[in-house]
Structure 1
Amino acid sequence: MQYFPLFTDLNQRRVIVVGGGEVAERKVELMLRANPLLTLIAPELSPRLQALQQAQALDWRQQSLSLESEPSWHADARLVVMATNDARLNREWALRLEAQGVLVNVVDDPDACNVITPAMVDRGKLLVAISSAGAAPVLASQLRAEIEQSLPASSAELMEFVAGRREQVKQALPANRRAEFWRQFFALNGRGFSKNTQANFDRTMAEDKALNAGELWLMDAEIEPNLLPIAALEVLAKLDCVISVLPLNGALNDWVRRDASRVTEMSESTIENELSVGKRLLFITDEQQLKFLKERFSQARTIQTGQISPSS
Structure 2
Amino acid sequence: MTKPPLTLYLAAPRGFCAGVDRAIKIVEMALEKWGAPVYVRHEIVHNKFVVDGLRDKGAVFVAELDECPDDRPVIFSAHGVPKSVPAEASRREMLFVDATCPLVSKVHIEAQRHFDAGLQMVMIGHKGHPETIGTMGQLPEGEVLLVETVEDVADIEVRDPSKLAFVTQTTLSIDDTKDVIAALQDRFPAIVGPHKEDICYATTNRQEAVKAVAPKSDALLVVGAPNSSNSKRLVEVASRAGCSYAQLVQRAPDIDWRALEGIASVAITAGASAPEQLVNEVVDAFRERYDVTVELAENAVENVEFKVPRVLRQPA
The TM tier, using the shorter chain, reads under 0.3
TM-score (norm 1): 0.25
Bigger relative CO (Cα 8 Å, ≥ 6 apart): 2
